[in-house]
Amino acid sequence: MRHDWIFDVLTDLKAYAVANRMTALAAKADEALAVAREEVARVAGASDPDDGLPPGATSH
């Protein structure tokens, strides 16, 4: 998956926040991870081979 890096960054941010007792930042990083999962799943679902677009193409 080409979006793996974003999960690594957000996971590291959350770990840093937890380790440094930044509870609000840790909560927001966790929220961002959930949003990233949803967005990546949505984008992956949008590249359905039956949508008429080649993989990686976007419609304008």
pTM of the full predicted structure?
Answer: 0.71
Q: Is residue 42's pLDDT more than 70?
A: yes
Between CA 44 and CA 53 the distance in angstroms is 13
Domain ranges of the chain: 4-46
Output the pLDDT for position 60. 42
Q: Is residue 53's pLDDT more than 60?
A: no
pLDDT per residue over 25-38, tens digit each? 999 999 999 999 99
CA angle, corner 37, sides to 35 and 43, nearest 5?
100
Hey, how many other C-beta atoms are within 10 angstroms of the C-beta on 45?
9
